Chains A and B, each alone.
Chain A
Amino acid sequence: MSSIIKTQPESIADKSTHYCPGCGHGVMLRLIGEVVDELGIREDMILTAPVGCSVILYDYMNCDVIECAHGRAPAVGTAIKRVHPDKFVLVYQGDGDLAAIGTAEIIHAANRGENLSVIFVNNAVYGMTGGQMAPTTLIGQKTTTSPYGRTAKGMGKPIRVCEMMATLEETKYLERTSIHSIRNINKTKAAIKKAFLNQINGIGFSLVEVLSMCPVGWRLSPQEAQGYIESQMIDYFPLGVYKDLEY
């Protein structure tokens, strides 16, 4: 065990993050760093960072990074990949970024079949602005802008991104994973690796949706937040592979 903990991926900068205790973004950073190292793509990689808690990814990743406007990372990533088809372009987005303000950009990048790897961190809340309702906030979930809990009437139901994207014929790989337990973290890493390899092998548009903890936004302790995913989120957002056109 100790040998796993002491190594720091080369692709991750040697500094502490601003993420809150128990936040899933730190885990995601680590997983992406490990996969980038294992595939040896750090120097060929361009990361598009979103607006949201992961906005400062350029400080944490040791690679070329562009900081995008809210929701526009898939459009920015599309252009970078078209200019440099031989480079690896990673699109990292949160739920507000991908499923609210940037819905058009992700849908059309996917529909064009852009050869991109998208990591979609779904923590059901706007973290950076202080815990407002997200497009993926669960029914009944209280946020600072749904203080009585989200209702379907007037607010709509949470958007299931993988299921929606699966209807687009040019998407090649769609999987929903979670990082609330070791077993699921390992599965998430495998999914990330697959999405990256798909791009490297020219297979096409891949998206991994990761259910992730926001203990502060959810008003829960880190442990309770893990339990919330297990007991609440997975019910509505079932884990699994939604499309894999390699098979």
Chain B
Amino acid sequence: MPETIDKKSSSVGKKVLLKGNEAVAEAAIKAGCDAYFAYPITPQTETAEYFSKRMVDLNRIFIQAESEVAAINMVFGASAAGARVMTSSSSPGISLKQEGISYIAGAELPCVLINVVRGGPGLGNILPSQADYFQTTRGGGHGDYRCITLVPNSIQECYDMTMAAFDLADYYRMPVFILSDGIIGQMVEPFVMHEYSPMFANMPKKDWALTGCKGREPNVVRTLYMSPADGLEQLNRRLFAKYEKIEAEYRDCQQISCDGADLIIIAYGATSRIAKAAIKKLNKNGKKVGLFRPKTVWPWPGPELVELVKNNKKAKFLVIEMSMGQMIEDVKLSLMDVVKKDWIYFYGMGGGWCPTPETICEKVNEVLG
């Protein structure tokens, strides 16, 4: 709600108020984002508006592109040129960007992408949704690839995860998504606006960047490999070796009162906050209910989920999503050998609605009987 913040350096370390859509922009700017390209779409437009002023003030690159397609291809170009670069959009716009994201993934270029998910399919509506889970965790565009996907559930995390996204993108040379939604993007909470410090001690040099070939062999950024022998097989194998490494190194989740719980709610993003409110009410009433919250949905924290079951064999599971059920497939895949199929329940909605603590409590009581 507060549209502007105190941008003097005195804001650093202080609690400030920004929308989620603005916090991701400020974090990007502090993390050294050189260029931002985007096209307006509700409910993420505040990000573009925020950048349009700050980037000009800082003499960095801001272009309101002619389309989502152009914006993602500008990201492709700027990233290839060695810049730290970001774009943001909401579901229909992200669909348009998928071709470009596939090229960026194939060319092993870093970039940060924000999806403030809204209701779909088609134009859907401008209300919050989590129906882009499949798209973001399975690559999204054509070909075999993955994007690291971080899922904030607070404005502090919007800020912190965006900074981390730039480092992860550069470190692993791949696109990194922040999966937000119409609630997280639009809400305001106080958060600490700290300065950026890199998460890796040694960031790899961008010696592949297009800068003109003075003093070196030409650099080529491409995704075309006409024959398998020409390198497509090797590219895909290299990508998947990298993905395996990331799956081992960068899964993240949060667990709240799962020890001894009779029921564990699995939810991410805005839904996990609503679930947490419900769990507090339920716990007060003596119900043993816990929360398992993925903070990364790719890589998927499946091993953590399995470990949780090892320590708590009696727990049933309730997956809550603002969709008709997408993450639940990952849950079922992870738990297929350790949890009875009919112990995994689902509560979701497809109209851009969100659950409330009360409706979650009702659902939990129904499951626990």
Binds B, one of A21-29, A76-84, A138-146, A158-166: A76-84
Query: Which residue of the partner chain A has the closest CB to B85?
Result: A79
Residues of B within 8 A of A45 (CB): 212-213
Residue of B78, B100, B214, B223 near A72 (CB, 8 A) is B100
Q: How far is the CA of A246 from the CA of B83 in the complex (A)?
A: 33
Q: How far is the CA of A88 from the CA of B212 in the complex (A)?
A: 8
With A64-B220, A65-B218, A104-B70 given, is the CB distance from A80 to B210 under 8 Å? Answer: yes
Q: Does A185 contact B (CB under 8 A)?
A: no
- Asked if residues A84 and B69 are in contact (CB atoms below 8 Å), the reply is no
Query: Which residue of the partner chain B has the closest CB to A72?
Result: B73
- Asked if residues A76 and B76 are in contact (CB atoms below 8 Å), the reply is yes
Q: How many residues of B contact A (CB 8 A)?
A: 38
With A46-B210, A64-B210, A75-B70 given, is the CB distance from A83 to B218 under 8 Å? Answer: no
Residues of A within 8 A of B222 (CB): 58, 65-67
Residues of B within 8 A of A84 (CB): 81, 210-212
Residue of B77, B223, B224 near A76 (CB, 8 A) is B77
Q: Does A69 contact B (CB under 8 A)?
A: yes
Residue of B66, B78, B223 near A83 (CB, 8 A) is B78
B-facing residues in A40-62 (Cβ within 8 Å): 42-46, 48, 55-56, 58, 61-62
- Asked if residues B224 and A67 are in contact (CB atoms below 8 Å), the reply is yes
Residue of A44, A58, A78 near B77 (CB, 8 A) is A78
Q: How far is the CA of A77 from the CA of B82 in the complex (A)?
A: 13
Q: Does A219 contact B (CB under 8 A)?
A: no
| Closest Cβ–Cβ distance, residue B86 to chain A (whole Å) | 12
| Closest Cβ–Cβ distance, residue A110 to chain B (whole Å) | 11
User: CB-CB contacts of B79-106 with A at 8 A, as 1s and 0s?
Assistant: 0111101000000000000011001000
Residues of B within 8 A of A72 (CB): 69-70, 73, 76, 100
B-facing residues in A93-110 (Cβ within 8 Å): 104-105, 107-108
- Asked if residues A75 and B77 are in contact (CB atoms below 8 Å), the reply is yes
Residues of B within 8 A of A220 (CB): none
With A64-B218, A82-B63 given, is the CB distance from A69 to B78 under 8 Å? Answer: no
Residues of A within 8 A of B103 (CB): 69
Q: How far is the CA of A88 from the CA of B71 in the complex (A)?
A: 21
Q: How far is the CA of A104 from the CA of B37 in the complex (A)?
A: 16
Q: Does B61 contact A (CB under 8 A)?
A: yes
Residue of B71, B81, B213 near A63 (CB, 8 A) is B213
Residues of B within 8 A of A61 (CB): 218
User: CB-CB contacts of A4-46 with B at 8 A, as 1s and 0s?
Assistant: 0000000000000000000000000000000000000011111
- Asked if residues A64 and B213 are in contact (CB atoms below 8 Å), the reply is yes
Q: How far is the CA of A45 from the CA of B219 in the complex (A)?
A: 11
Residue of B63, B211, B214, B220 near A78 (CB, 8 A) is B63
Q: How far is the CA of A108 from the CA of B85 in the complex (A)?
A: 20
- Asked if residues A43 and B212 are in contact (CB atoms below 8 Å), the reply is yes
- Asked if residues A83 and B73 are in contact (CB atoms below 8 Å), the reply is no
Residue of A55, A66, A75, A79 near B35 (CB, 8 A) is A79
Q: How far is the CA of A63 from the CA of B210 in the complex (A)?
A: 9
- Asked if residues A64 and B74 are in contact (CB atoms below 8 Å), the reply is no
| Closest Cβ–Cβ distance, residue A154 to chain B (whole Å) | 26
With A69-B100, A80-B210 given, is the CB distance from A46 to B70 under 8 Å? Answer: no
Q: How far is the CA of A140 from the CA of B294 in the complex (A)?
A: 60
With A64-B220, A69-B103, A79-B35 given, is the CB distance from A105 to B76 under 8 Å? Answer: no
By Cβ-Cβ distance, the 8 closest A-B pairs, closest first, are A79-B77, A76-B77, A67-B222, A108-B66, A72-B73, A75-B73, A79-B78, A43-B214
Given contacts A43-B214, A68-B73, 12 further A-B contacts (CB under 8 A): A67-B222, A69-B73, A72-B69, A72-B100, A75-B65, A75-B77, A79-B73, A80-B77, A83-B35, A104-B67, A105-B66, A105-B69
Can you list 24 A-B pairs, Cβ within 8 angstroms, ordered by A?
A43-B213, A48-B77, A61-B218, A63-B212, A64-B213, A65-B218, A66-B77, A66-B221, A69-B99, A69-B103, A72-B76, A75-B69, A76-B74, A78-B63, A79-B81, A79-B83, A80-B78, A80-B210, A83-B35, A83-B78, A87-B212, A105-B70, A108-B70, A112-B63
